A and B are shown apart, each in its own frame.
Chain A
């Protein structure tokens, strides 16, 4: 069974940092692009970042460029999202995706003082 399990969310003050992790199983991880999407409170969905199979290509939404970094470890079947200089508007549920198909259950990030 294809599965994605996110972790690392929590409460952080504005300006702080968090590192989200996503553990993949049930498929050949190094064959797929991976994606992070977030859903802000009461709002819709926003694509955050993509990474290719070899970490050569990375793409970000403008609002997180320079603050967030997507990475992966194919030996550990995991993808990460390092989030620095967090803002209140970064609050939301962060989902890990395999491409645009399979979603994890999400991890909640709350940025508040």
Chain B
């Protein structure tokens, strides 16, 4: 199974900060990676697909990069509505696996 190691598990930030979250895959997954945002009591929503493509309707302050084993989600200027938990997902091979999540707090 491919392990996805996501870091940090939580972070404190302020409005306007630049935030970076990393996912490392235990083996190469090409660019078969997505990023999701989840707010309390809600289903996750996809932000990024194929590692770097912005989901339609998602603000351009979100961006993704990486390929192979190392991937990054960046929020260029954190907004109040961005305080949430973020997950990566590899769908290169079965079983699909998620990162452990990063909780972004004030």
Contacts and interface: CB of A to CB of B under 8 A. Distances in A.
B57 to A, nearest CB: 12
Interface centre among A46, A47, A95, A102 (most CB of B within 10 A): A47
Interface in A28-83: 35, 44-47, 50, 59-62
Contact of B46 (A46, A95, A101): A101
Given A100-B34, A100-B49, A100-B89, A47 B95 contact: yes
Interface in B68-101: 87, 89, 91, 94-101
A85 interface: no
Interface residues of B, number: 19
Contacts of B96: 35, 47, 50, 100
Contacts of B91: 100
Interface stretch (A7-15, A17-25, A103-111): A103-111
User: Which of the four size classes fits the interface of chain A?
Assistant: 10 to 19
**Residue from B36, B44, B55, B89 with most neighbouring chain A CB atoms (10 Å):** B44
A44 B100 contact: yes
B106 interface: no
Interface of A: 35, 44-47, 50, 59-62, 95, 100-106
B45 interface: yes
A103 B97 CA distance: 16
Interface of B: 34, 36, 43-46, 49, 55, 87, 89, 91, 94-101
A46 to B, nearest CB: 7
A45 B43 contact: no
Contacts of A60: 95
A61 B95 contact: yes
A61 B94 CA distance: 8
Contacts of B36: 45
A104 B98 CA distance: 18
A35 B94 CA distance: 12
Contacts of A44: 87, 98-101
